């Protein structure tokens, strides 16, 4: 890098640090989180609140920089917001949930926290991802501080247990994945991701692994046994049934349907005509592949979702081969998936009739905008972490360089629109905290790959994965050999 480039890059980083500092939220004199956006030019709505999923990006960079107090305060205070009693009242949040967001409210000179479990949010969406991110962040804290004592405190053990309870509870279906409503994660609007969306499944997997590391067995044997049972099944299910590459597409293309009983190969009765297979045939590079957005009865959503795919690499849910294939896809389809701003939240956009039916004519989610294939700079840290893990550092540098000047010039927008991500998002806020933190985190992770273990996991032992095959019928190998 030239000297003047280095100076510019350092200036941008300093500016980002200052902006992150401005976003810190204080409660009773202590820092406890960051607001979603610090933009005085537009009505705040709920962007002046601390969102759990958004704070994870800030928290990781704070941990890296030794600012552990803010993360600890956040974990302690959000844990207090978790409902601990069984609620049979339909309008009360379920036991174990962690809110989507919270704000500091003052009354009679006293400050208290007000949580939103979706009861105030636009469209009243359920934040399923919050409790999963919360566990993942607690583990990151433990690793960064090398101090298990916080997680071992009885309140924290109980908090983890309650989250596991709600995830592993009795339910209607028998998939290893979690069945959730639409908009239950980063994409918190109707986007046709109800059912078993990849993002939730990957976060679920990472949370199960994190919980397994932190739960003390004494008194938690039942939960630990349930985690040990679920992990390999979930892992094998995603690796097998969500995977799309050219070989798999070939297999699906020749799928038989209406198979009944044990010998079924097309387990979910996917009808080939529901897939845009001619487009996929053109689009899929020879060696690339990715996990589908959703799998359910006669449903295989072939859209590419960035968060789920990148976190699958980071959390080791993807095999080494699959991880390399996802990165190859990103490299080979850079113009589509990254364009001028890392990176697309999903690809391709829902258009025309499909857009109208699936989003409910949402004007914020018109094709190539916002959640409907907009570009979200926060995803850059996950791209960086996945790049570090798969040793694709060149690709990460390219992404950071693309982003850095524009982000600062455009005042750190929430998202970008357009096929190439060149338009500042139509309703994007400026000084969006996770844009700022995502950028800083991407830089730190590339400068110092030793921070990766804060979010990454090692491989599940092979004997645990192969156990899953006892339960699974119609594995990839079995239909490929037919």
Taking the C-alpha atoms of residue 266 and residue 428, their distance in angstroms, rounded to an integer, is 42
Taking the C-alpha atoms of residue 340 and residue 420, their distance in angstroms, rounded to an integer, is 6
Which residues touch 455 (CB under 8 Å, ≥6 apart)? 60, 136, 140, 314, 315, 385
Let me know: does 240 contact 472? Beta carbons within 8 Å: yes
Q: Looking at beta carbons only, is 198 or 231 nearer to ligand GLC?
A: 198
Which residues touch 401 (CB under 8 Å, ≥6 apart)? none
Map the footprint of ligand GLC across residues 162-191, applying CB under 6 A: 186, 188
CB of 125 to ligand GLC, least distance (A): 9
3-state DSSP call for residue 234?
helix
3-state DSSP call for residue 20?
helix
Q: Looking at beta carbons only, is 188 or 444 nearer to ligand GLC?
A: 188
Map the footprint of ligand GLC across residues 186-225, applying CB under 6 A: 186, 188
Query: Quick check: 331 binds ligand GLC (CB under 6 A)?
Result: no
Q: Looking at beta carbons only, is 116 or 188 nearer to ligand GLC?
A: 188
Window contacting ligand GLC (CB under 6 A); options: 26-34, 46-54, 266-274, 318-326: 46-54
CB of 88 to ligand GLC, least distance (A): 29
Q: Looking at beta carbons only, is 142 or 311 nearer to ligand GLC?
A: 311
Q: Looking at beta carbons only, is 96 or 127 nearer to ligand GLC?
A: 127
CB of 248 to ligand GLC, least distance (A): 30
Query: Quick check: 151 binds ligand GLC (CB under 6 A)?
Result: no
Query: Quick check: 51 binds ligand GLC (CB under 6 A)?
Result: yes
Window contacting ligand GLC (CB under 6 A); options: 48-56, 87-95, 438-446, 451-459: 48-56
Taking the C-alpha atoms of residue 428 and residue 229, their distance in angstroms, rounded to an integer, is 43
Residues that bind ligand GLC (rule: CB under 6 A) add up to a total of 6
- In 236-392, at which residue ranges do the beta strands (DSSP E only) sit? 243-245, 289-296, 299-305, 346-347
Position of minimal CB gap to ligand GLC: 36
The CA–CA distances, whole Å, from 323 to 29, 41, 365, 449 equal 44, 41, 29, 17
Angle in degrees, 0-180, between the axes of helices 52-64 and 128-145, rounded to the nearest 10: 10
> Of these, 19, 20, 39, 54, which contacts ligand GLC (CB under 6 A)?
54
Q: Looking at beta carbons only, is 54 or 245 nearer to ligand GLC?
A: 54
- In 319-439, at which residue ranges do the beta strands (DSSP E only) sit? 346-347, 416-417, 423-424
Q: Looking at beta carbons only, is 36 or 75 nearer to ligand GLC?
A: 36
Q: Looking at beta carbons only, is 199 or 331 nearer to ligand GLC?
A: 199
Q: Looking at beta carbons only, is 53 or 237 nearer to ligand GLC?
A: 53
Which residues touch 476 (CB under 8 Å, ≥6 apart)? 240, 243, 248, 251
Q: Looking at beta carbons only, is 133 or 156 nearer to ligand GLC?
A: 133
3-state DSSP call for residue 93?
coil
CB of 439 to ligand GLC, least distance (A): 15
> Of these, 12, 16, 24, 36, which contacts ligand GLC (CB under 6 A)?
36
**Tokens 């995830």 map to which residue?**
167
Let me know: does 239 contact 181? Beta carbons within 8 Å: no
Q: Looking at beta carbons only, is 188 or 336 nearer to ligand GLC?
A: 188
Query: Quick check: 35 binds ligand GLC (CB under 6 A)?
Result: no
Query: Quick check: 53 binds ligand GLC (CB under 6 A)?
Result: yes
Instruction: Kindly report the backbone phi and psi dihedral angles of residue 240, in degrees, each rounded to the nearest multiple of 5, phi listed first.
Output: -90, -50
Window contacting ligand GLC (CB under 6 A); options: 47-55, 71-79, 158-166, 336-344: 47-55
CB of 352 to ligand GLC, least distance (A): 23
CB of 8 to ligand GLC, least distance (A): 28
Window contacting ligand GLC (CB under 6 A); options: 50-58, 87-95, 296-304, 361-369: 50-58
Taking the C-alpha atoms of residue 20 and residue 449, their distance in angstroms, rounded to an integer, is 22
The CA–CA distances, whole Å, from 153 to 32, 138, 170, 216, 430 equal 19, 12, 27, 10, 39
CB of 345 to ligand GLC, least distance (A): 9
Q: Are strands 289-296 and 243-245 parallel, antiparallel or unpaired?
A: antiparallel
CB of 360 to ligand GLC, least distance (A): 16
Let me know: does 130 contact 108? Beta carbons within 8 Å: no
Binding site for ligand GLC (CB under 6 A): 36, 51, 53-54, 186, 188
């Amino acid at each position: 890098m030239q000297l003047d480039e280095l100076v510019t890059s350092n200036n941008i980083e300093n500016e980002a640090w200052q902006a992150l500092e401005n976003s810190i939220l204080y409660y009773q004199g202590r820092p406890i989180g960051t607001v979603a956006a610090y933009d005085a030019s537009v009505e705040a709505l709920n962007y002046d609140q601390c969102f759990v999923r958004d704070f994870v990006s800030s928290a990781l960079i704070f941990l890296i920089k030794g600012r552990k107090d803010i993360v600890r305060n956040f974990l302690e205070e959000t844990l207090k917001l978790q409902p601990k009693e069984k609620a049979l009242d339909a309008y009360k949040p379920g036991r174990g949930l962690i809110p989507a967001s919270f704000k500091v409210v003052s009354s009679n000179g006293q400050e208290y926290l007000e949580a939103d479990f979706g009861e105030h949010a636009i469209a009243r969406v359920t934040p399923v991802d919050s409790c999963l991110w919360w566990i993942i962040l607690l583990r990151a804290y433990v690793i960064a501080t090398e101090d298990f004592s916080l997680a071992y405190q009885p309140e924290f053990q109980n908090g983890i247990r309650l989250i596991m309870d709600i995830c592993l509870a009795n339910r209607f279906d028998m998939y290893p994945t979690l069945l959730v409503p639409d908009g239950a994660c980063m994409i918190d609007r109707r986007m046709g991701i109800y059912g078993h969306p990849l993002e939730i499944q990957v976060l679920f997997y990472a949370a199960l692994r994190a919980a397994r590391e932190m739960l003390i067995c004494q008194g938690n044997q039942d939960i630990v046994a349930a985690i040990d049972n679920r992990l390999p099944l979930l892992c094998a299910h995603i690796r097998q049934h969500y995977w799309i590459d050219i070989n798999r597409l070939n297999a699906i293309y020749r799928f038989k349907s209406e198979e009944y009983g044990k010998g079924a190969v097309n387990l979910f009765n996917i009808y080939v005509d529901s897939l845009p297979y001619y487009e996929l045939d053109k689009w899929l590079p020879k060696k690339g592949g990715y996990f589908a957005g959703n799998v359910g009865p006669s449903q295989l959503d072939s859209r590419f979702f960035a968060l789920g795919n990148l976190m699958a690499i980071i959390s080791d849910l993807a095999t080494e081969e699959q991880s390399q294939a996802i990165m190859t896809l990103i490299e080979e389809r850079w113009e589509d998936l990254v364009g001028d701003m890392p990176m697309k939240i999903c690809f391709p956009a829902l258009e025309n009739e499909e857009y109208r039916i699936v989003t409910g004519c949402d004007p914020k989610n018109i094709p190539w905008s916002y959640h409907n294939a907009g570009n979200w700079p926060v995803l850059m840290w996950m791209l960086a972490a996945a790049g570090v893990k798969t040793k694709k550092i060149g690709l990460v540098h390219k992404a950071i360089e693309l982003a850095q000047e524009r982000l600062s010039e455009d005042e750190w927008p929430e998202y970008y629109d357009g096929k190439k991500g060149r338009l500042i998002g139509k309703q994007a806020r400026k000084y969006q905290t996770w844009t700022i933190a995502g950028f800083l985190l991407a830089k730190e992770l590339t400068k110092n790959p030793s921070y990766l273990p804060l979010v990454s996991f090692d491989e599940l032992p092979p004997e645990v994965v192969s156990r899953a095959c006892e339960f699974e019928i119609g594995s990839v190998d079995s239909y490929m050999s037919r």
